[in-house]
Structure 1
Amino acid sequence: MAMDRSSGLLLHVTSLPSHGGIGDLGPAAYAFADFLAAAKQQWWQVLPLGPTGYGNSPYAGLSAFAGNPLLVSLEFLAEWGWMDRERLGELPGHDGHVDFEAVSARKLPLLEEAARNFLARRASHEEQGEQWERFERFRAANSGWLPDWVLYSVLRRKFGYACWNEWPEAVARREPEALEAARKELAAEIAVAEAIQFAFDEQWTRLREYCAERGIRFLGDIAIFVNFDSADVWAYPEIFDLDEKLSPVRVAGVPPDYFSATGQRWGNPLYRWDVLERQGFAWWVERVRRARVLYDAMRLDHFRGFEAYWSIPAEEETAVNGEWVKAPGDALFETLARELGELPFLAEDLGVITPEVDALRERFGLPGMRVLQFGFSGRGAHMHLPHRYEKNSVVYTGTHDNDTTRGWWEHGASREEKAAVEVYLHPGLDASEHGVVWAMIRAAATSVADICLYPVQDVLELGSEARMNVPARAKGNWGWRVGEGAWNDDVAAKLALLTEVTDRDRLPDEDSQEA
């Protein structure tokens, strides 16, 4: 994928200081877009946008296609006439970590109430009529995944949020008569779920348009695997490695590494790649087609798994006792390119990377990732330092899985790593004033890498309290939110100047040249 020299910020939507206890697609998202524009950034990277299940991880979502209802802005629904603005007072405010359980308990009923109002008032005035027409077009355009998602979501609630393979057998095995009966019985709830997905689509589309007008593109994230308890596995059990009782046989993860001595047992069911290949990778084609509707470019999480994946027996409690199994990456990407055209992918090629993985990425021209925090732990890690970068790559100071750069410096970096940092980044380093953070940002910005991405936490010089995720930790992740008022002019001006002097800003005549 050809990339122009540019930079951007990594901030998941849930981390915005939106009203309601969780970041959403409302006014706070537009304020952040304005900050990006003022700072001359061209990319907003988000984590997967799908609905989440146990643990609230966006990488273990309930659907690879649907939008997370919690990201829908109630403030905008009030503007649309779907609900009374007074109801917004029932929600928490702008600050503090996300309490997912509390937010779900308070926000979802209001979302459903608003959706029911929309459905009941479908043509009460001209704007509602136009919106209803868009709703019908949305349903038609997404007829592949939408029916499975909405039926799954209402059945999941009906059966007490039990995993789908614990539902009554006829429904779990998708017997046609049982599904038809469920659709009739739950028709009203299904319509509400459809309306909420439409609201997500409307709000996301408008935000993308607002950003595009300001030269900002979205970099999305495609998790290679899907959650076992998901609409995808329920709807397409034949493409996953399940036994006769519909339970996983082997599951995904990674072997022991930098993050964990026992590896990471993610627990996602593995694909039956042989079945997928015989089907022309149809499910993957539709998944990427959907992602291209949402994003300008996509980060393929755990790219290594498209060449070979770590296969763990489902009964194992850790990821230690697994094995590498080959995957048909070439055939998959050839099919995607043939069906969808240019592949706007970035490969997350971190971890145990073999020459075969590099060769797969290079054959399809995909940029790889470099992470500055990794580069100072010894000679074998120097590929993450700027003097070893290639142009077709994307550099991060840290990712959502790392501590913030300030937190890493204060609590995680060894004495040897700190000595290496001070030598490598001098004279840009003043550790006494947390200067290491902007020294790392400058090192990334001045590198030859085509794209440079900074977590918002680093630009704001935040510590470990702002960390997004600790891999292999079961609870307490994903809840960080930026404080209200963080987007100040001084930070934007500082980042804009760095962007200009490192030639990562959008040139004034680029629009006319492209036209």
Structure 2
Amino acid sequence: MLENNHEKKPKKYAGILAHPTSFPSPYGIGDLGKGAYRFIDFLANSGLNLWQVLPLGHTGFGDSPYQPFSAFAGQPLIIDLDALKEYKLLSEDDFTDMPEWDPVHIDYGTLITFKTKLLKLAYERFTDPDHEDGLSTDEEQMAAFASFKKDSSWLADYSLFMAGKDFHEGMPWYMWEDSLKAPTKRQRTTWEKKLANEIGYYDFIQFLFHTQWMAIKEYANEKNISIVGDAPIFLAWDSADVWSHQELFMLDSKGYPTEVAGVPPDYFSETGQLWGNPLYNWSKHTATGYEWWIERIKYQLTLTDFLRIDHFRGFDRYWAVPYGEETAINGEWKPAPGINFFTQLQANLGYDLPIIAEDLGEIDDSVIELRDKFNLPGMKILQFAFENPEENDFLPHNYTRNCVCYTGTHDNDTTLGWYQKAYEASKDKLRRYFSTDASDICWVMIRACFSSVANMAVVPMQDVLKLDSWARLNTPGVGEGNWAWRFEDKDMDTKLEERLFETAKLYGR
């Protein structure tokens, strides 16, 4: 049910989808610094009360937030470097060799090298007893760091995993020596001593991320803005959670998956989609009372107010493909714990689940029943309403209140780009449906989203700015060039705030 943690009754929300990586920043990628606070001010000035992000995790190969190294750890690349200057852990002299960044596109290769060097330099100074006037001499901050490490039960696994990857020059964990691939307690202690400095570095950057993010969340909540987070249902094979909890996944004795995730052939793909993520050993999860899952969701809900769960249907049934298959054709549907899982999750949380179900794609009745049993809102994509020339559930006149309406999401083209490429029949249907000439198609769709009965209305920042396909954030199935779009501070101007404010107010949001 769409209820903010601070609200007793449902209310109508309107907001923007923008990942922190997209924010204005002088350091090559959006971060948790001034650009983030400026964006929150922009939302508040626009009369909006919702900010949706993508997963906030530490990204791995391909830079996708949906393939993180950890289900818990935050993204080091969005740590605010200006704050480290204020802590006197970095100085202006450390930035003399900074590359010249493209303000609207992230160059991850150059960025990772540059920012990692600075974060490691900050850690060296943090741990240097002779470094004057730095954070390491601040007793309050040191106490906060110690408290963070004590309270973060996931941190030790993550930091040892990342230190292990560094030691093995990025090699995936299932190719490590047995003493670290599946260590005994004694072997683990030996590795922890051996990699103590590297482990300390990863503890440190997670402390920085958590401290900065929680300050951002507090600032947003003070301005009556709720944050929608995002959790991928499956994890990367090469991740801290799979490595440290091998028994909870369908792995063989060598750490290789016995079967992997995907979706079967459908209208969009004759061979289906082979994602390759290891599948959960649900019988083991059930035996523990879903301890790992409950800890994961509880933690994510300390970072955000609502949580979108990607591929929600995987909690009802999931497509299991034998490991080694080249396509997803030869898979089979297998049951997931569904009702039992969400019943125990709700009992542990002690309140209605603030979860949005990503229920797009091929959805059957049992998935709808699971979603509705726990009163979880599904997703409605306006672009989909007009790709289908027939009557369909994505047309606004078919919405129920308990849903989230989007013009498009991170996986869609921008609205302008989509319209420019749409079939003429789709364009004709849209123009007749909204009685418009579509000359301002982005705001036609924004108004449709805000005017719908959906309790939540969310619009990607690209649509607010009326950008075409060059600003698309992700193209599924394409391995390069994704997750790189950014906007500039000048884009958040007063006229845009006024137009959003007027639209939100007009439709009672």
Letter in 1 for 2:452: S
1:17 and 1:94 in contact (8 A); partners too: no
Partner residue of 1:385 out of 383, 395, 403: 395
How many Å separate the matches in 1 of 2:96 and 2:318? 48
Unaligned residue ranges in structure 1 (runs of 5+): 505-515
> How many angstroms does 1:414 deviate by?
1.1
> How many angstroms does 1:380 deviate by?
5.6
2:434 matched residue in structure 1 = 425
2:380 and 2:405 in contact (8 A); partners too: yes
1:175-213 deviation digits (Å, cap 9, x = unpaired):
222211111111112111111110001100111111112
Partner residue of 1:361 out of 353, 371, 390: 371
1:51 and 1:66 in contact (8 A); partners too: yes
For the pair 1:109 / 2:117, whether they are aligned, the reply is yes
CA RMSD of aligned residues (A): 1.6
1:234-267 deviation digits (Å, cap 9, x = unpaired):
0000010111221011111222346544332111
Question: What does 1:313-332 align with in structure 2 at a 5 Å threshold?
Answer: 313-332=322-341
1:119 matched residue in structure 2 = 127
Letter in 2 for 1:76: A
> How many angstroms does 1:115 deviate by?
1.9
How many Å separate the matches in 2 of 1:125 and 1:155? 29
How many Å separate the matches in 2 of 1:125 and 1:478? 34
Partner residue of 2:480 out of 472, 475, 482: 475
2:468 matched residue in structure 1 = 463
> How many angstroms does 1:311 deviate by?
1.2
1:391-419 deviation digits (Å, cap 9, x = unpaired):
000000000000000000012x1111111
Partner residue of 1:204 out of 213, 229, 242: 213
For the pair 1:218 / 2:224, whether they are aligned, the reply is no
TM-score by length of 2: 0.95
1:123 and 1:132 in contact (8 A); partners too: no
> How many angstroms does 1:130 deviate by?
1.0
Greater shift, 392-401 or 181-190, is seen at: 181-190
For the pair 1:501 / 2:506, whether they are aligned, the reply is yes
For the pair 1:53 / 2:63, whether they are aligned, the reply is no
How many Å separate the matches in 1 of 2:148 and 2:467? 40
Q: CA 1:328 to 1:116, structure 2 compared with 1: closer, same or farther past 3 Å?
A: same
Unaligned residue ranges in structure 2 (runs of 5+): 4-10
2:320 and 2:334 in contact (8 A); partners too: yes
Partner residue of 2:163 out of 139, 154, 177: 154
1:43 matched residue in structure 2 = 50
TM-score by length of 1: 0.94
2:379 and 2:405 in contact (8 A); partners too: yes
2:441 matched residue in structure 1 = 436
Letter in 2 for 1:182: W
How many Å separate the matches in 2 of 1:23 and 1:317? 36
2:2 matched residue in structure 1 = 2
> How many angstroms does 1:454 deviate by?
0.2
SS of equivalent to 2:148: helix
1:255 and 1:319 in contact (8 A); partners too: yes
For the pair 1:69 / 2:76, whether they are aligned, the reply is yes
How many Å separate the matches in 2 of 1:294 and 1:441? 27
SS of equivalent to 2:203: helix
Letter in 1 for 2:503: L
1:19 and 1:94 in contact (8 A); partners too: no
1:187 matched residue in structure 2 = 196
Aligned length: 498
Letter in 2 for 1:444: C
Partner residue of 1:231 out of 233, 240, 244: 240
Partner residue of 2:273 out of 264, 270, 274: 264
How many Å separate the matches in 1 of 2:285 and 2:495? 51
> How many angstroms does 1:318 deviate by?
2.2
How many Å separate the matches in 2 of 1:120 and 1:272? 44
Q: CA 1:419 to 1:261, structure 2 compared with 1: closer, same or farther past 3 Å?
A: farther
> How many angstroms does 1:478 deviate by?
1.0
2:125 and 2:134 in contact (8 A); partners too: no
Q: CA 1:337 to 1:380, structure 2 compared with 1: closer, same or farther past 3 Å?
A: farther
2:321 and 2:328 in contact (8 A); partners too: yes
2:389 and 2:426 in contact (8 A); partners too: no
> How many angstroms does 1:333 deviate by?
0.7
2:38 matched residue in structure 1 = 31
How many Å separate the matches in 2 of 1:476 and 1:322? 30
> How many angstroms does 1:2 deviate by?
3.3
Letter in 1 for 2:396: P
SS of equivalent to 1:383: coil
Letter in 2 for 1:385: L
Letter in 1 for 2:77: L
For the pair 1:133 / 2:140, whether they are aligned, the reply is no
1:279-300 deviation digits (Å, cap 9, x = unpaired):
1101101101110111111001
Letter in 2 for 1:328: P
Greater shift, 129-138 or 230-239, is seen at: 129-138
1:18 and 1:94 in contact (8 A); partners too: no
